[in-house]
Structures are given as C-alpha cells and as structure tokens.
Amino acid sequence: MIAERSARAVTARSALSRGDLQTTHDLAATMVAQDPEDAEGHFLLGIAESGQGRIRDGIRHIDRAVTLDPRGEYRAQLARLFTLVRRDGDAAVTLRDAEATPPADALSRDTMGCVYARLGDHAAALPHFEEAVRLEPGNPEYRYNRAVTLNFLGRVDEAEEALEALLAIAPGDARAHHLLSSLRRQSADDNHVERLERTLAATPAGPGRLLLGYALAKELEDIGRPEQALERLCVANAGHRRTLRYDFAGDAAAFDAIEQAWDAVAAGPVGDKSAEAPIFVIGMPRTGTTLVDRIISSHAAVESAGELQAMPLAVKLASGTRTATVLDPETVLRAAQGDMAAIGRDYLSRASHHRRDPALRFTDKFPGNFQYAGFIARALPAARIVCLRRHPMDTVLSNFRNLFAVSSRYYDYSYDLLDIAAYYVRFDRLMALWRRAFPERLLEVRYEDVVADQAGQTRRILEHCGLDWDDACLSFHANAAPVSTPSAAQVRQPIYGDAVARWKRHAAVLEPVRRHFEQAGIAID
C-alpha cells in the first residue's frame, strides 16, 4: 500500500510538472480518499484545486498538508495562495514559519521571494531569489525575479549584470530587455538600440513585441531621437490596443457612480477620529506621485508602505458585492451605504502587513486612490491626502509612454492618446468634487512647482501633513528604502526638469488631444 501510494504521488508530481492539473487532481484525490492523513496528497490536491481557479479549496487542502507535515515547500505555496485572496497577514506568518526550515527546491524558494515581494519586503525576498538562481541557474524566470528585486533595492549595477546574464541564456526575453532599458538613462555611446531592433524584428505579435517596443522607444528618447521614439511607441500601443475590448464608457460609468455615491458617503457617520493618520499620495499615474512619496517618507517620522490595494479592498469588502472587478458601479454604490468606521479599520489592518515600524506614520502612494478619496475622507478622519497634478498634455504623454501592468484591465485606457485624454477629463472633474467637499483634507500639488521650488513645495506638503520640517526631505534621492515603481531610477537622482513641457516636442502628434481638452474646457496654457 505504501509503495502504491508513493508511486501515485510520483505520477501526480509528474503530471503537475507537465501542467496536467486534472490528472494531478484525480490522483491526489485518490490518495486523500485512501488516507485522509496523507500530507502529500492534500498538498497536490490543493495545488490542482487552486490551479483550476478554486483558490479557497486549494488553501484548505494545503493548510491541512502543513498541519500534517510543516515542510517548507508546503508553506511556500500556502503563503502564495494567501496573497491571492488578499490574506496578507496570514501570508506573512506562513513565510516566517517557512524560514525556520527553508525548502530545498528552486521553485519553492522563488515562490517565497515572490510572496515577500508582494508584501513589499524586497530585502527579505532577495535571498530566496538568489538561492533559486543558484539551485537552477538555467531558469530565466528566477533570474528575472532576482534582477527586478536588485533594481527595487537600488543595486542597479548588479541588476544590469543579472539581466545581461539572463539574456545570454535567453536572448529573446522581452521582459529582461524592457527592464534593462529602464535601469538608467542610455547614452549615444552606450545603449541597446541595435540589439533591441534586431530582437523586435524577430519577435512575433504579442506581449513580447509590446515590451520590446516600449524598451526601444525609451532608449531612442534617451539618445536624442524623440520623434522616432514616439513613432515606435505609437506602433506598439496601436497594436496592443487592437487586442483589447476596452471602451471608455466602462470607466465613465465608474466615475459616474463615484460622483453619485458621494452624497450618501458624506451623510453617513465618520470613522474613528482617534485612529492613525496615514498620508495618501494620489493622482493620475506618472505625474510625480513616487517623487512626492519619496520626499514625505524621507522624513524621520514617516515610512512608505508603497502602493497598497488596501483601500480598494476594504471598500470592496464593505460593499458585499461579488462582481469580478474591485472597482465597478455596483460596488461603489453599495459601499456608500456601508460603515465608514469599519472600512477605516479594515484598511488599517490590511496596511499593517506592509509596514516596518508601527511607531511611524506611513504613506500609501497608490495613485488610483483618487477614486476612493471620498471614502478615505470619511473612513479615516485623521488621514491627509496629497494629490499630484501635472500639465494635462504632459499627463497624457507620460501615461502613453509608460507600460503599466499589461494584465490589469484598469490601465487599458493608457494605450490610446484620446482614451487617456477622456480619462483625464473625468479625473479632473472628480478632483473638483473632492476639492469642494473637503478642502482642508486635500492638498493639490503641481509637479512643475515641485521641480521649480523643491524646498517651498516640500514645506507646504509637510505642513499639510502635520509634520515638522526635516532637511532629509530635500535629499530624498539619498533615501535607501526600496522603490518598486517605474520611477525607481528617477527618484534616486536629484530633481531635474527634463520632463517638464515634454509634450511640446510632440505638439503635432498631440494636436487631437489638445482639441479634445479645448472642447472639454481643460486649460492647457
């Protein structure tokens, strides 16, 4: 019987390695039916269940496997599944337990690194990625994860070396090319343009071409060929836009619901006024939110918790909806009738798993929280909100030039200039509502003003947040904390003005955007 069970486990593992989840499921289910105390059976059944979309069933089986046999491999996968259902606290505890007896296989070590990264602890993630690469040096995925983390930690030279080593074994790896292009400003004498052009020409249509197109456009811009850069970008974005089923009407409906819900949110009781006072840095993406977050979190009394999904998830939970998306009209309207104090408590609980020192105030720099500012104001009465504003035309261009999470539908607007312009118009209208509703809680800061008068704007921001002056805020680029956004390279340098009024170089291409703004009443002078 033991030999038969062992053979079945080997066969199930083999099926799993081939991606045959149904066979893995059937074999593991038989193992558990024959012996309910079979840890390996529960583990494999949990992996198969979660792989087929039944995450909570997967957690139940792998949790049982850990109880029966607390080996590192089982704990690593359990932690991963906890993050998929946003149980970050449970994931963190499971990781700490796994550290006592770390798994010996590369996949599990990489998994632990990915979970730590998901929790924002990149320093803890790196040793696991390092070990995964050591155990399986031919795996490009493990090498890529290591390089990403080195970049987040500011170890740019090592990240560049790691990516070149990856490309030596996988020359067409588009993600590696894309990340490599972003590590530094390329020069006419030292760049990857020719290699990128060759790789792009050999890459079929799909996500790889999109990544390579962005990488090539970025490097062309760096070496002083902005017209060619934008041309490449237009081709890449147009190709990807054709694959999407995006219609701005969906985003417009969400904006409508947020505006409609405000009266109900404003009429309800507020949250606990004695609760913590987080600082929310919001705005359209690529408008200086990372820069301002870095300035604030360089203060001795503040730490950055990164870009949290804590408020969107707290609002989703309060709504009780079971819609497929976190943000949608039904969710917003239902949550508006909810308990703001409960939303505030849930937010702080979720945020706590991304903090390092509970004695410090913290920033949450998820730009998309501009859609949740009404909930923030009522659920967290002590919170402060700083919204970055940037010239409308530069905002459109910067969103068009940045590749967001390709798999996220929330950024589908960013592949077409007029879609971005339409999105900006609604952002601007929503910010006008918040400005009228709670002006004492909201500070709007122009990116251009920060560039022109860093000290003056820093003082203004700190005063709004209730913070004393700290000279360290002027040296934000010396802040050693990890940065896990596309602005990582920029915020490790002193402020520079190269990005101000960049849109004027491309005024002809952006003329339809200018006309759209003119018709919408958006000033661009």
Residue 114: name the closest of 89, 144, 85 by CA: 144
List per-residue pLDDT tens for the chain, 525 residues long.
455 567 888 998 999 989 999 999 999 999 999 999 999 999 999 999 999 999 999 999 999 999 999 999 999 999 999 999 989 999 999 999 999 989 999 999 999 999 999 998 999 999 999 999 999 999 999 999 999 999 999 999 999 999 999 999 999 999 999 999 999 999 999 999 999 999 999 999 899 999 999 999 999 999 999 999 999 999 999 999 999 999 999 999 999 999 999 999 999 899 888 779 999 999 999 999 999 999 999 999 999 999 999 999 999 999 999 998 999 999 999 999 999 999 999 999 999 989 989 999 999 999 999 999 999 999 999 999 999 999 999 999 999 999 998 888 899 999 999 999 999 999 999 999 999 999 999 999 999 999 999 999 999 999 999 999 999 999 887 765 665 555 555 555 567 777 888 999 999 999 999 999 999 999 987
Sequence-distant (6+) residues with CB within 8 A of 407 are none
The strand ranges marked E within 163-257 are none
Q: What is each CA distance from 241 to 214, 230, 368, 409, in whole angstroms?
A: 14, 16, 21, 12
Q: What is the pLDDT of residues 414-464, one digit of tens each?
A: 999 999 999 999 999 999 999 999 999 999 999 999 999 999 999 999 999
Return the CATH number of the domain spanning residue range 248-391+437-492: 3.40.50.300
pLDDT of residue 481: 62
Q: How many whole angstroms separate alpha carbon 497 and alpha carbon 500?
A: 6
What does the pLDDT read at residue 499?
Answer: 80
280: region left, alpha or beta (phi > 0 left; psi from -120 to 50 alpha):
beta
Helix (H) or strand (E) holding 296: helix 289-297
The Cα 424–Cα 422 span in angstroms is: 5
Amino acid present at 368? G
Q: Alpha-carbon Rg of the chain, whole angstroms?
A: 24
CA atoms of 183 and 198, how far apart (whole Å) = 20
Compute the C-alpha angle 250/251/255, nearest 5°: 120
Tens digits of per-residue pLDDT, 390-419?
999 999 999 999 999 888 889 999 999 999
Taking the mean position of all CA atoms in its chain, how far away is CA 446? 23
DSSP string across 210-236: HHHHHHHHHHHHHTT-HHHHHHHHHHH
Are 414 and 399 contacting, i.e. CB atoms less than 8 angstroms apart?
yes
In a 3-state reduction of DSSP, which class is residue 268?
coil
Domain with CATH 3.40.50.300 in the chain: 248-391+437-492
Q: Is 478 helix (H, G, I), strand (E, B) or coil?
A: helix
Q: Could you tell me which residues come within 8 angstroms of residue 359 by beta carbon, excluding any fewer than 6 positions away?
A: none
At residue 384, the 3 state secondary structure works out as strand
pLDDT value, residue 477: 77
pLDDT at 408: 87
Which whole-number Å values give the CA distances from 15 to 22, 58, 106, 299, 430, in the listed order? 9, 17, 19, 53, 51
pTM for the whole structure: 0.88
Dihedral angle, C-alpha 151, 157, 158, 163, nearest 10 °: 80
Q: What are phi and psi of 304, to 5 degrees?
A: -95, 130
Q: Are 327 and 312 in contact (CB under 8 A)?
A: yes
Return d(Cα 290, Cα 296) in angstroms, integer.
Answer: 10
Sheet with 302-304: strands ordered across: 302-304, 361-364, 279-283, 384-389, 442-446
Q: What is the per-residue pLDDT across 231-262, written as a single tens digit (0 to 9) for each? A: 999 999 999 999 999 999 999 999 999 999 99
| Residue 477 Rama label (left phi>0; alpha psi -120 to 50; beta) | alpha
